[in-house]
Amino acid sequence: MIYGNVELHNIDEVVDVGESVRLQRVQEAVRLKLNVNAQEKVLSPANAEIRFVCEGPSVRMTLSSEGETDAAIFYGPFQGKQALVIGAEPQVVELPAQADRLARMPEEHGKGMAFSPKVCRIMLRGAPLRIHKIKGDVRPPTAGEVPALRYLAYGTSITHGNAATGPHLTYVAQVARRLNADLLNLGLGGAAHCEFEISDYIAARKDWHFATLELSVNMVGAVFSLDDFYERASYMVNTVAGSDTSRPVACITIYPHHRDIDDSFNKADQKGRPEEYRQKLRDAVAACPHPNVHLFEGSDILQDIGDLTSDLLHPADNGMIQMGENLARKLRPLIERLE
């Protein structure tokens, strides 16, 4: 969305909060229909970005956070040296039009890049971010300065990017980079419960060309029975895919994790084993009548259990990179006609 003279990427609404606005990945009317945890998680700016082209010497932004928000600065595909942590007190961030030697780089070297080096990208992760002021001669990027292809990813904290040490290191960001696509991250850490409302919301959006649905280790436990999971997952698969059958939709079964390594991690009140939930997703995909639906096994994406962090659930940076490579390889033939 456009806010003032900048683009708020992967943000669908800003809400007035005192003398500032809070960035939200999902509209407030939808947010309030989700589970309580998801209502909080959609406020986390996972792979959201503040984007602009600076036509003056610099831009000054006053930002604050409802906790701590990490901000990594990129100029197009080039990672800047500056990394920020935005706290609760309003903080003025000043950024030059272009950093270091990029300003002197001949323009022809930037041609063919998915992102123009002119585009300043403040990549966000962490607590909800607020914008107070933006000062400077800036404009939103034009269509030719950002990727034309847009990739939407729904899923758990793994998609959200829980353990990645930077927003660009989530596996879905790695996929987007390899496919020259622009990422719309709808990961909901600990809260991907496939509500009908989030399914309808994703289906109604017209701003994505292909999607992945990581479904869903958050539903393994004492709350959702196998039948509950099937009902919600089946509705999501059919609704999202059926919204436009020209848009490929890849469903990913639960990634390998601690419950697969040792059965003692499966609790007595658990409604099913991970493999049973995986089979329910396979069944839902098999029953879907739409030709644009595809099934990917999580074990084909996360192939090495050693790529997890020590919690044996969330992939570490090396795992995220490897997953990005594997998933991009599987998605590439599905999107060739879109490019």
**Domain final residue, candidates 145, 180, 213:** 145
CA dihedral for 327, 329, 334, 338, sign (positive or negative): positive
Residue 95 is predicted with a pLDDT of 87
CA distance 275 to 256: 10
Q: CB under 8 Å to 314, separation ≥6 — which residues?
A: 157, 158, 162, 163, 308
Q: Please determine, for residue 102, whether its predicted confidence score (pLDDT) is greater than 90.
A: no
Q: Please determine, for residue 109, whether its predicted confidence score (pLDDT) is greater than 90.
A: no
Mean pLDDT of the region 166-185: 97
Q: Are residues 94 and 182 in the same domain?
A: no
**Domain final residue, candidates 104, 123, 145:** 145
CA dihedral for 21, 23, 29, 31, sign (positive or negative): negative
Q: For residue 200, give the CATH number of its domain.
A: 3.40.50.1110
Q: 122: domain range?
A: 2-145
> Using H for helix, E for strand and C for coil, what is the string for 155-178?
ECHHHHCCCCCCHHHCHHHHHHHH
Greater model confidence, 96 or 50: 50
Q: Are residues 164 and 266 in the same domain?
A: yes
Strands (E), the chain: 2-3, 6-9, 13-17, 20-24, 48-65, 69-75, 78-86, 91-96, 119-126, 129-139, 149-155, 181-187, 210-214, 249-252, 293-296
CA distance 103 to 15: 35
Q: Please determine, for residue 101, whether its predicted confidence score (pLDDT) is greater than 80.
A: no
Q: Are residues 61 and 130 in the same domain?
A: yes
> Comparing 93-107, 108-122, 229-243, 315-329, which segment has the lowest mean pLDDT?
93-107
What's the CA angle centered on 71, arms 68 and 76, to 5 degrees? Answer: 165
Q: Are residues 159 and 305 in the same domain?
A: yes
Mean pLDDT of the chain: 94
For residue 4, CA distances in Å to 96, 97, 131, 133 come to: 19, 18, 11, 10
User: For residue range 279-333, what is the model confidence (pLDDT) as tens digits?
Assistant: 999 999 999 999 999 999 999 999 999 999 999 999 999 999 999 999 999 999 9
CA distance 72 to 66: 18
Taking Cα atoms as reference points, which of 64, 209, 207 lies closest to residue 126?
A: 64
Q: Are residues 59 and 73 in the same domain?
A: yes
CA distance 134 to 51: 12
| Total domain count, the chain | 2
Q: Are residues 161 and 221 in the same domain?
A: yes
**Strand pairing class (249-252; 293-296):** parallel
**Domain final residue, candidates 145, 174, 190:** 145
CA distance 198 to 194: 7
Q: Are residues 20 and 67 in the same domain?
A: yes
Mean pLDDT of the region 164-173: 95
Q: Are residues 128 and 44 in the same domain?
A: yes
Q: Are residues 61 and 204 in the same domain?
A: no
* Both structure tokens of 38: 């998801």
CA distance 73 to 249: 31
Q: Are residues 131 and 153 in the same domain?
A: no
Instruction: For residue 266, name the pLDDT band (cuts at 50, 70, 90).
Output: confident
Total Cβ atoms within 10 A of residue 32: 10
Q: Are residues 171 and 301 in the same domain?
A: yes
Q: For residue 112, give the CATH number of its domain.
A: 2.60.120.260
Which stretches of the chain are DSSP H helices?
28-31, 36-41, 157-160, 171-178, 196-204, 226-242, 258-261, 274-287, 298-301, 317-335
Residue 30 is predicted with a pLDDT of 96
Q: Is 301 helix (H, G, I), strand (E, B) or coil?
A: helix
Residue 57 is predicted with a pLDDT of 83
User: For residue range 221-264, what is the model confidence (pLDDT) as tens digits?
Assistant: 989 999 999 999 999 999 999 999 999 999 999 999 999 988 87
Residue 105 is predicted with a pLDDT of 78
Q: Please determine, for residue 99, whether its predicted confidence score (pLDDT) is greater than 90.
A: no
Q: Are residues 177 and 281 in the same domain?
A: yes
CA distance 238 to 216: 16
Mean pLDDT of the region 101-107: 76
